[in-house]
């Protein structure tokens, strides 16, 4: 069975489609983004992501889920991790009408893990079956797989407490005491991307000269500090387009863009379509 690793040459926001693949945990030189819900089932070892401006670690036998439109990057791997990666197109995920406590929290940028894990053997067999079923052609997954995916997400939701967060992104903790300066900058961006934000603001927060801050950030994450801010603003805009009926200009301002022209240009370049087309594609009504 082939073990996949991240292709650092893949274009940003390129979709994976319906997939279930076995991956080998490896450090990523840059963040990835794709407009899908991602599930990770750890078989052995552990992974540490930088996502949503904070470190999150998925331990052996753990099942985690997150919205992969947010920049996410593996920055730690222990004990030769192997894990299944399932990617679910956002349009399909939203059409499943899953409980709000799952959907709202994922689209609010949370990395969710199951609070109870009593089905380890069942999951291993299920994900193994999906890997075989989806290796033939992911554009038209078998109906049985779609039903099983929906059922598994319902089971995931049943373990979550009732914590409605509709309409706002969660407050994200500043990094842990051993976080690097670059990680602290990423955390600051995650908490303030909706505000006017300059390189000077981010650099001052961690006590660095702006030029050195930009160099350090680019060296660590293989993307510029300004592009990282834009990624977060676009992810917020995608969330609001898919889940609200707000006017597009209101969404642009709520996402941190100061002008409509800047918003439309950044959205078209990153997503390959207009905000209106994105909203129609993902089921929200205007």
Contacting residues for 155 by C-beta, under 8 A, at least 6 apart: 119
Q: Given pLDDT bands bounded at 50, 70 and 90, which one contains residue 86? A: very high
Q: Supply the mean pLDDT for the chain.
A: 85
Collapsed DSSP state (helix, strand, coil) of residue 214: helix
Q: Given pLDDT bands bounded at 50, 70 and 90, which one contains residue 97? A: confident
* Mean pLDDT to the nearest integer, 279-283: 76
Considering 80-84, 184-188, 192-196, the range whose residues carry the highest mean pLDDT is 80-84
**Does the pLDDT value for residue 87 go beyond 80?**
yes
* Residues comprising the chain, all counted: 286
* pLDDT value for 236: 86
C-alpha distances (whole Å) from 68 to each of 50, 201, 216 are: 12, 26, 24
Q: Given pLDDT bands bounded at 50, 70 and 90, which one contains residue 168? A: very low
**Does the pLDDT value for residue 23 go beyond 70?**
yes
Query: Of 248, 211, 203, 209, nearest to 229 (Cα)?
Result: 203
Q: Which domains does the chain have, with CATH numbers?
A: 19-158 (2.60.120.280), 181-281 (1.10.10.60)
Lowest mean pLDDT among 101-115, 148-162, 209-223, 257-271: 101-115
Extract the tokens encoding 269. 């370049």
* pLDDT value for 118: 57
* pLDDT value for 156: 93
Asked if 202 and 185 touch (Cβ cutoff 8 Å), the reply is yes
**Does the pLDDT value for residue 5 go beyond 80?**
yes
Lowest mean pLDDT among 93-97, 142-146, 202-206: 93-97
* Mean pLDDT to the nearest integer, 208-224: 89
pTM for the full predicted model: 0.72
Query: Where do runs of H (alpha helix) occur along 20-142?
Result: 90-95, 100-107, 120-133
| Percentage of the chain lying above the pLDDT 70 cut | 88
* pLDDT value for 119: 63
Collapsed DSSP state (helix, strand, coil) of residue 251: helix
Extract the tokens encoding 10. 């893949």
Q: To which residue do tokens 């036998």 refer?
A: 61
**Does the pLDDT value for residue 98 go beyond 50?**
yes
Extract the tokens encoding 168. 């706002």
Cα–Cα distance, 95 to 37 (Å, whole number):
13
pLDDT, tens digit, for every residue of 116-149?
A: 655 668 899 999 999 999 986 556 889 999 999 9
* Mean pLDDT to the nearest integer, 251-277: 92
Determine how many CB atoms are found less than 10 A away from the CB of residue 158: 13
* pLDDT value for 145: 94
* Mean pLDDT to the nearest integer, 202-207: 94
Backbone φ and ψ for 79, nearest 5 degrees, come out as 60, 40
Q: Given pLDDT bands bounded at 50, 70 and 90, which one contains residue 35? A: confident
Extract the tokens encoding 99. 């409980």
* pLDDT value for 52: 64
Cα–Cα distance, 227 to 8 (Å, whole number):
17
More confident residue, 52 or 285: 52
* pLDDT value for 38: 96
Cα–Cα distance, 52 to 34 (Å, whole number):
14
């Amino acid at each position: 069975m082939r073990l996949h690793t991240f292709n650092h040459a893949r274009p940003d926001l390129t979709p994976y489609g319906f997939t279930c693949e076995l991956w080998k945990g490896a450090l990523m030189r840059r963040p990835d983004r794709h407009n899908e819900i991602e599930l990770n089932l750890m078989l052995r070892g552990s992974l540490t992501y930088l996502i949503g401006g904070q470190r999150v670690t998925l331990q052996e036998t753990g099942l985690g889920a997150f919205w992969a439109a947010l920049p996410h990057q593996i920055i730690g791997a222990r004990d030769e991790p192997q894990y299944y990666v399932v990617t679910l197109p956002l349009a399909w995920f939203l059409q499943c009408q899953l409980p709000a406590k799952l959907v709202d929290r994922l689209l609010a940028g949370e990395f969710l893990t199951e609070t109870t894990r009593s089905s380890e053997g069942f999951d291993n067999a299920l994900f193994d079956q999906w890997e075989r079923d989806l290796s033939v052609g992911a554009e038209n997954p078998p109906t049985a797989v779609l039903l099983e995916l929906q059922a598994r997400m319902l089971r995931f939701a049943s373990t979550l407490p009732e914590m409605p967060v509709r309409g706002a992104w969660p407050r994200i903790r500043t990094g842990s005491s051993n976080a690097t300066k670059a990680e602290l900058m990423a955390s600051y961006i995650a908490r303030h991307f909706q505000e006017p934000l300059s390189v000077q603001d981010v650099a001052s927060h961690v006590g660095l000269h702006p030029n050195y801050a930009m160099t350090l950030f680019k060296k660590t994450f293989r993307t510029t500090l300004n592009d990282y801010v834009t990624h977060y603003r676009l992810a917020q805009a995608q969330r609001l387009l898919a889940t609200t009926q707000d006017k597009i200009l209101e969404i642009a301002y709520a996402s941190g863009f100061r002008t409509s022209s800047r918003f439309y240009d950044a959205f078209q370049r990153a997503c390959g379509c207009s905000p209106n087309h994105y909203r129609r594609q993902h089921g929200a009504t205007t």
